[in-house]
């Protein structure tokens, strides 16, 4: 049994100045925690975003869960709960079924006004997890990085920030055999966590918010060449093969991607703070694990599941750039709304999402309250749809994940057919990219974003992905040029401090695989 304890912290500074104010009240704490084991910052960095009401930061999880294929490993660092032994344990089987005892609801009833996430699991579900969830799917791309298919921090303390109000909450969990024991442990954990946070806030962290001139303080000054999993010839050939399959009716669309890597010898934190400043997003994230550091500025919700069973996904399909001239900017937005092609592709993914949620939701509950509506970010307009439903009684957030994973906007349609074709075309695994990243709350809720606009830093190298949706009228040469355009801003930010300001400002124009080619569209990467 688990109990929650929550305490509102004093404000770190002046309250948020209205709905659209930028509130970085978690930045100093996240910076102070960043070098600790398992540091994370689930960062709703976009001002005024309806989707990012809360941000969360923490470190020092009591355990880490990793899944490699059908093998699940739990590494527990301290005796936080009676059903998880300190040390390392392993089990074989369905990863989500093995995760259920660790993540599914087990808490005593508490105040519903508390933050939606007060503790549970934080981390990623990698794209190749799909092969463990779907018996008919076999993925054979080369696993050259050896990353886990699942990497989740087991979190029993964190800080939550409500952006609109500027209120901050210290949250802690306590586990026990009885409700009284769990509540006692939660209260003790909260007291210790509050004392630690108070001490941290008395120390001014270094590099909490680097100046713009230092925003790529992490880049290498040389100009190393980037290596790609598919060169120009191979990428064009893969597009041509997919077009043949589209022509034969095997798939309607397939999201072809490639991985680009280059040396990175800088400060990941400085790079992340720069990227979030240039491209604020409702589902940004900083996640530090021994395997890798993940930096993401994702705008796309994969799944939100509330504790009452309400579930929502918001696929993005369709992109245009923003313009500095207001009239031109409005015209670009209107053009996107009027585009029959973009609307049709958005509808295709909506139909896929409706089918996925229909597998686990109550009959008649799946609805589309928003279809291909315009959503504007700092540098792009998007077409975004919302699909909602209500889970059938007895089903959980993990059941919703099983039904909908991986995100359809990153595969194509039909999903399994597209994934099989992409597995033949892409020589290396996608890993966290095109999967999901976020949290599972101990009370049953979950919030997961699509892993796009993401850099994975590991062993002195940076890995990023780029690509796009191949459809019937795609041109192989144009698709290659677009993939180059999409990845260039992030590579420049990684390489050269002098070019970082301009590069990161352009990053949001290049969203991986969020739309198919259009002559005036920002390249989705």
SS (H, E, C) 206-226: CCCCCCHHHCCCCCCCCCCCC
- Cα gap 150→152, rounded to integer Å: 6
Q: Is 441:158 a contact under the CB 8 Å cutoff? A: no
From the candidates 312, 317, 375, 479, which is the catalytic residue? 317
Q: How far is CA 117 from CA 11, 170, 186, 439, in A?
A: 20, 11, 15, 7
Rounded Cα–Cα distance for residues 341 and 143 (Å): 36
Question: Choosing from 128, 162, 300, 479, which is the catalytic residue?
Answer: 300
CB atoms within 10 A of CB 244: 10
What pairing do the DSSP bridges indicate for beta strands 87-92 and 120-125?
unpaired
317 is catalytic: yes
Residue 184 has a CB neighbour count (10 Å cut-off) of: 15
300 is known as an active-site residue: yes
Map tokens 């919700």 to a residue: 301
Residue by residue, DSSP assigns 253-306 as EEEEEEEEEEE--S-HHHHHHHHHHHS--TEEEEEE-SS-EEEEEE--EEEEE-
Q: Are strands 157-162 and 167-175 parallel, antiparallel or unpaired?
A: antiparallel
Identify any residues that bridge with 51 across adjacent strands, giving them in sequence order.
Answer: none
Pairing of strands 446-450, 454-458: unpaired
CA distance 300 to 384: 9
CA distance 233 to 5: 57
The residues that are catalytic are: 300, 317
């Amino acid at each position: 049994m688990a109990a929650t304890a929550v305490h509102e912290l004093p404000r770190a500074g002046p309250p948020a100045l209205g709905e659209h104010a930028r509130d970085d009240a978690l930045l100093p704490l996240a910076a102070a925690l960043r070098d600790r084991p398992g540091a994370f910052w689930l960062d709703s960095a976009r001002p005024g975003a309806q989707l990012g009401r809360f941000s969360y930061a923490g470190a020092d999880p009591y355990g880490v869960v990793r899944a490699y294929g059908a093998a699940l490993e739990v590494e527990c660092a301290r005796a936080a709960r009676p059903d998880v032994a300190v040390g390392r344990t392993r089990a074989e089987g369905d990863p989500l079924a093995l995760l259920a005892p660790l993540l599914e609801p087990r808490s005593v009833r508490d105040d519903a006004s508390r933050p939606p996430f007060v503790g549970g699991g934080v981390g990623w579900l990698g794209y190749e997890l799909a092969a463990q969830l779907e018996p008919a799917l076999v993925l054979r791309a080369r696993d050259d990085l050896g990353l886990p298919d699942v990497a989740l921090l087991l979190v029993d303390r964190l800080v939550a920030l409500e952006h609109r109000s500027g209120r901050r909450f210290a949250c802690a969990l306590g586990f026990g055999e009885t409700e009284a024991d769990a509540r006692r442990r939660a209260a003790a954990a909260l007291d210790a966590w509050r004392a630690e946070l108070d001490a941290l806030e008395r120390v001014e962290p270094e590099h909490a918010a680097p100046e713009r001139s230092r925003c790529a303080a992490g880049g290498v000054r040389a100009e190393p060449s980037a290596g790609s999993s598919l060169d120009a010839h191979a990428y064009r050939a893969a597009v041509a093969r997919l077009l043949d399959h589209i022509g034969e009716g095997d798939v309607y669309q397939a999201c072809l991607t490639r991985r680009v890597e280059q040396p990175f010898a800088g400060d990941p934190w400085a790079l992340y703070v720069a990227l979030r400043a240039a491209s604020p997003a409702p589902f940004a994230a900083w996640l530090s694990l021994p395997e890798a550091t993940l930096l993401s500025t994702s705008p796309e919700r994969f799944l939100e599941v509330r504790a009452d069973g309400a579930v929502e996904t918001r696929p993005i399909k369709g992109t245009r750039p923003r313009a500095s001239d207001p009239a031109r900017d409005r015209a670009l937005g209107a053009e996107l709304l009027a585009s029959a092609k973009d609307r049709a592709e958005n509808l295709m993914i909506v139909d896929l999402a409706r089918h996925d949620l229909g597998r686990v939701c109550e009959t008649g509950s799946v609805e589309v309250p928003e279809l291909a509506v315009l959503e504007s970010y700092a540098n792009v307009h998007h077409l975004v749809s919302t699909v909602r439903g209500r889970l059938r009684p007895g089903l959980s957030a993990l059941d919703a994940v099983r039904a909908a994973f991986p995100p359809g906007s990153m595969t194509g349609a039909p999903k399994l057919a597209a994934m099989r074709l992409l597995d033949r075309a892409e020589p290396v695994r996608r890993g966290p990219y095109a999967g999901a990243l976020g949290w599972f709350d101990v009370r049953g809720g979950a919030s997961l974003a699509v892993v796009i606009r993401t850099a994975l830093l590991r062993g002195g190298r940076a890995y990023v992905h780029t690509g796009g949706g191949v459809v019937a009228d795609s041109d192989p040469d144009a698709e290659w040029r677009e993939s180059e355009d999409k990845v260039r801003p992030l590579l420049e930010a990684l390489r050269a401090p002098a070019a970082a300001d301009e590069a990161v400002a352009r990053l949001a124009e290049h969203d991986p695989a969020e739309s198919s080619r259009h002559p005036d569209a920002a390249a989705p990467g």
